[in-house]
Amino acid sequence: MVGTVLLVAALGAATGVVTARLLSGGTATQSSYWEAIPQSSDTSSAGSTATNTASSSSDSYPATNMTSSSADTTSSTQLSTTSEEAASSSTDFSSVVEAAMPSVVSITNTIRYQQYGYSQFGQGQDQTAEAAASGSGVIVRIDDDYVYIVTNHHVIADASELSAEFNDGTSADAQVVGDDSTDDIALIKVAVSDLSSDTLSQIKAITFADSDNVKIGSTAIAIGNALGYGQSVTTGIVSAKDRAITSERETMEGLLQTDAAINPGNSGGALLDANGNLIGINVAKYSSTDVEGMGYAIPSNKVLEIVEEMLEGSYSPSTSSASAASSASAQQGAAGQQGNL
């Protein structure tokens, strides 16, 4: 069986242990790590960008430090008053989504690359060009200085500029705090000083669920910037746990599998339980004419552990890449491309 597992902002190919081919905008060559997905010119998010900054909580907006429902049973219902039993008995998750949406952002990665000019008369003038790709992120902490957002490494890789768009439509530059290409996790920050008090009043940090306690068959709600059109919602169940997918460079293990629709642009977005708590960060899907409904997410417990270490400055990934440079072949392949991660 041949297929492609897309890491959502990236996706790729799968057999047994799923083989992943990552997809992102601006680096479309067979030899490049990410394969661009052309984005239609009428996409409203095509011009958005993302940049880096950091955060902590103040009195001017809601309490927003990272919380985990595993430490306190009451915190697991922080984002919704709907009980697990009541939520699971209904297919209407509008109140859950409404409560969680302020924690999800759209991310735009702008890559600058050198374009080499050639003509019938020989080499022409080289010029700098740009390509943009869209992904998603989840707010994990807000303090007096920064809003911290977790996303996938492949969403922010090789970025010349990053921007984050919040629930109210406001965009701001973001900076990379830390990233790990092996676990495909990145933490970025937006300066509180770059956001209005109105925007700060409309955003909040997500509440983490204990992903070890997630049950197969339980509700899964995916929120992300699908195809770069802005936040959208899909629902399904947790289909399996402890799955592995393999890309051209490494194998990711211990992933949650869901049949909630995961599309390009969803990478870095939220996978929630029926209470609106974070159970995973969407990272990939299996794409094939023979297969439907196989998406993957990094479990929230692993995300929380990595993010906390990045915030403390103690995280030491085996393979880290915060470089804004990309290979010549990837740069040339990026010419004129826009995509979704």
Query: Read out DSSP for 189-245?
Result: EEEGGGS-HHHHHT--PPEEP-GGGPPTTSEEEEEE-GGGSS-EEEEEEEEEEEEEE
Catalytic residue status for 154: yes
Flag whether 162 is in a domain: yes
Smallest CA-to-CA distance from 211 within 129, 156, 271 is with 271
Flag whether 76 is in a domain: yes
Smallest CA-to-CA distance from 57 within 65, 48, 49 is with 65
- Which entry of 143, 158, 183, 184 is annotated as an active-site residue? 184
Q: Show the tokens assigned to 262.
A: 């995961």
How many domains does the chain fold into?
Answer: 1
- Length in residues, the chain: 341
Catalytic residue status for 153: no
Residue 138 CA to residue 332 CA, distance in Å, equals 31
DSSP 162: E
pLDDT, position 176: 95
CATH of the domain at 188: 2.40.10.120
Contact indicator for 166, 174 with CB cutoff of 8 Å: no
Flag whether 328 is in a domain: no
Which residues 6+ apart lie within 8 Å of 98 measured at CB? none
Q: Whole-model pTM?
A: 0.69
pLDDT, position 222: 97
Flag whether 334 is in a domain: no
* Secondary structure tally for the chain: helices H, strands E: 6, 23
Catalytic residue status for 267: yes
Flag whether 330 is in a domain: no
Domain that holds residue 61: 4-323
Residue 118 CA to residue 255 CA, distance in Å, equals 46
Flag whether 341 is in a domain: no
Instruction: Look at residue 9 and give its three-state secondary structure.
Output: coil
Residue 54 CA to residue 194 CA, distance in Å, equals 11
Flag whether 333 is in a domain: no
Residue 235 CB neighbours (<10 A): 18
Which residues 6+ apart lie within 8 Å of 71 measured at CB? none
Residue 25 CA to residue 326 CA, distance in Å, equals 13
- Which entry of 32, 106, 154, 183 is annotated as an active-site residue? 154
Contact indicator for 62, 55 with CB cutoff of 8 Å: no
- As a whole number of Å, the end-to-end CA separation of the chain is 24
Instruction: Look at residue 203 and give its three-state secondary structure.
Output: coil
Instruction: Count CA atoms within 13 Å of residue 111 on its CB side.
Output: 36
Flag whether 331 is in a domain: no
pLDDT tens digits, the chain, 341 residues: what are they?
445 555 554 333 333 344 444 433 333 332 222 322 333 334 333 333 333 333 333 333 333 455 555 444 444 333 333 444 444 446 889 999 999 999 999 999 887 666 655 555 555 556 666 677 889 999 999 999 999 999 999 999 888 899 999 999 999 999 999 999 889 999 999 999 999 999 999 999 999 999 999 999 999 999 999 888 889 999 999 999 999 988 666 788 999 999 999 988 999 999 999 999 999 999 998 877 787 889 999 999 999 999 999 999 877 764 443 333 333 333 333 333 345 55
- Which entry of 103, 163, 267, 321 is annotated as an active-site residue? 267
